[in-house]
């Protein structure tokens, strides 16, 4: 039996669920995934009971419920100190927290123009002008962090699971 439960939505479309899942993986926490669909009003009501913000991911561990990816990261840092969720070096830790905050709250043009869809591949896809600076900033963050700290995270496992999901959200599968 798993140590914890992680309530998530679609692996294909939910960048927020991905973040919570990656945090649990990096912490080495054995979680049972509990996928819910937002399309079902009963699920939405249940999510409201689990998480006042009706957002996923939501980690339930040792009687504690934590939602919001930054809160999950801080919680896992406390309960799994051996995992090294944050760098030991103060400067690197500050850099990590600054980047986490930037990614957590920024990139609104990218989020609205290009929502996550791991199944979509469009030849010659035209990127909206407003999203380009966000993409460039993310590429810079990834390049610098991979160069300075190593990586990458276990994205292959998540992507395989996303591609196996049967559900599709029609409004997110359109070509622009």
* Number of C-beta neighbours around residue 12 at 10 A: 25
Token pair listed for 17: 């669920």
pLDDT at 101 over 70: yes
Q: pLDDT tens digits, residue range 123-135?
A: 888 888 999 999 9
For helices 69-79 and 90-105, angle between their N-to-C axes, nearest 10 degrees: 150
Overall number of domains in the chain: 1
**Comparison of pLDDT for 171 and 8, the residue scoring more:** 8
Per-residue confidence (pLDDT) for residue 49, from 0 to 100: 54
Domain of 54 in residue numbering reads as 4-172
User: How far from 34 is each of 39, 80, 98, 123, 174, CA to CA, in Å?
Assistant: 15, 21, 30, 34, 27
pLDDT at 43 over 80: no
Q: What is d(CA 63, CA 79) in angstroms, rounded to the nearest whole number?
A: 13
**Comparison of pLDDT for 54 and 80, the residue scoring more:** 80
From 20, 7, 139, select the one nearest 85 (Cα to Cα).
20
């Amino acid at each position: 039996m798993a140590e914890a439960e992680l309530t998530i939505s679609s692996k294909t479309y939910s960048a927020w669920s991905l973040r919570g899942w990656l945090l649990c993986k990096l912490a080495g926490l054995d979680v049972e995934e509990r996928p819910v669909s937002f399309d079902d009003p009963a699920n939405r009501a249940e999510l409201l009971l689990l998480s006042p913000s009706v957002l996923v991911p939501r980690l339930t561990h040792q009687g504690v419920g934590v939602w919001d990816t930054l809160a999950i990261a801080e919680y896992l840092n406390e309960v799994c100190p051996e995992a090294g969720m944050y760098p030991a070096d103060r400067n690197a830790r500050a850099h990590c927290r600054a980047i986490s905050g930037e990614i957590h709250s920024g990139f609104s043009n990218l989020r609205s123009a290009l929502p996550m869809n791991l199944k979509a591949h469009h030849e010659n896809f035209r990127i909206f002008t407003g999203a380009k600076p966000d993409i460039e900033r993310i590429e810079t963050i990834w390049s610098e962090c991979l160069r300075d700290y190593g990586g990458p995270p276990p994205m292959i496992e998540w992507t395989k699971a996303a591609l196996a999901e049967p559900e599709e959200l029609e409004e997110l599968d359109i070509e622009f």
